[in-house]
Structures are given as structure tokens and as C-alpha cells.
Amino acid sequence: MASGFKDIAGLETNRLNQLVVRQTLQTTRDENIFAIGDCAACPWPARGGTVPPRAQAAHQQASHMVGQIRRRLAGQPLHDWHYRDFGSLVSLGEYTTVGNLMGFLLGRNLFVEGLFARLMYKSLYKMHELALYGPVKVTLDTLARLITRRTEPQVKLH
């Protein structure tokens, strides 16, 4: 992470230059400033560290912040945010995806790979796109990708 938040307005940062926040997602030195996502170092009491900077954490924080803003504007007390780790999926190219689903389904962790993992990854990706861009843009982008896919190289080296 860039040094963009280091020493900004006297706010507390960690060694990764993330803003240190409380469970309410308020910064530790100014209760009027909130931080979520990659820029926030949020405590994870269940694991004794901080919440990993992943999309699922940012999504959960953003959903929680909607309620926090409403409560703040109504003069009500804020609620603590608690991270729920649902696991991870990693796409390793066009045809390979692996993942680990946390034990909330079967009471134990479940390793997934192959087509099932790929479908899960693609559906999560589409859900994130929908949340960011809305159904019209996602539909048009998906159709455009289907049309141009055959003209794109299958392996890309950067």
C-alpha cells in the first residue's frame, strides 16, 4: 500500500499505512472519520489480529456502514462490526480455480477446485460487478465479452 495515509491529519496508521479503526469502523483519533476496505486496519478479535484486506471484508464493511450512517444521522449509538470469513476463491487462469470454504455449511472447511470452484468464482465476480455498476452495464459488458472473447488471446503475459 502506498504511503498516502501516513501522518494524514494526525490519524493513527499501522505499518502498512492503513488507518487504524475501532470495531465501529471509526478511526481511533477522530470519531467523525470512518474507514473501510483496504485503507482500514480493523481489529478482528476472534483471530487476535486485523481483518484481511479482501473484497469480502470491504463488502461486509460497506453494508454495515449504511446502517452506521443512518444511526449517526439519527443520533443513535453505533454498532460494532464483526467480520465473517466465508473462505477464499482464487482464479489461476481461464480454466483453474481453487478455494477454501469456511465451516459454516458443513461444520468444517471444504476445499473446492475445478468447474464448481470456477462457477462460484464467476458468480461472486458478477455479484461484485452488479453492486458496483448495476445490471444494465454488467449485462452489456458481459455480452461484449462474449462477442469479443474469440478474438482475444487465450494466454496473456504481462
Could you give the percent of the chain with pLDDT greater than 70?
85
pLDDT at 5: 72
Q: pTM value?
A: 0.69
What residues contact residue 1 under an 8 Å CB cut-off, 6+ apart?
16, 17, 18, 38, 39
**Which among 31, 1, 34, 33 is positioned nearest to 18, based on CA atoms?**
1
Confidence of residue 88 (pLDDT cuts 50, 70, 90): confident
The tens digit of pLDDT for each residue in 26-48 reads: 999 999 999 999 899 999 988 88
pLDDT at 156: 47
20-24, 36-40, 62-66, 113-117: least confidently modelled range:
113-117
The grid coordinates of residue 11 equal 490519524
Give start and end residues of each alpha helix (H) in the chain: 55-73, 114-133, 135-148
pLDDT at 3: 53
What residues contact residue 62 under an 8 Å CB cut-off, 6+ apart?
36, 37
pLDDT at 158: 40
**pLDDT average, residue stretch 55-75:** 92
Cα dihedral sign, 137-39-36-43: positive
Dihedral, CA atoms, 103, 106, 111, 115, nearest 10 degrees? -130
Domains of the chain: 1-85 (3.50.50.60), 86-152 (no CATH)
6-20, 26-40, 59-73, 142-156: least confidently modelled range:
142-156
